[in-house]
Amino acid sequence: MAGSDHVAGRDQETGRAHAVPRDVADGPAPWLGVCGVPVGVVQGSWAGPRGLGSADPCPDCRRLVLG
């Protein structure tokens, strides 16, 4: 899947950014990153500053989404 198929999710305890499939993010909480970690907030594109451009993007999400 391309990065545009995902939104940025954030683990509220650690602040780490996770990729959440767009179709999952459109539904009600709870949301899970592609790596299986629950996220408390979804906002913005995974390819943007709150996802891959953040200070702490999840390496597993990066690997799973980008290949």
Domain assignment of residue 45, given as a range: 3-66
Give the total number of structural domains in the chain.
1
Beta-carbon contacts of 57 under 8 Å, excluding residues fewer than 6 positions away, are 16, 17, 51
41: Cβ–Cβ under 8 A, 6 or more apart, which residues?
9, 10, 12
Cβ pair 20, 3 in contact under 8 A: no
Q: The pTM is what? A: 0.91
Comparing C-alpha atoms, which of 38, 47, 33, 30 is closest to residue 13? Answer: 38
Q: What is the pLDDT along the chain (67 residues), one digit of tens a residue?
A: 445 799 999 998 999 999 999 999 999 988 999 999 999 999 999 999 999 999 999 999 999 999 8
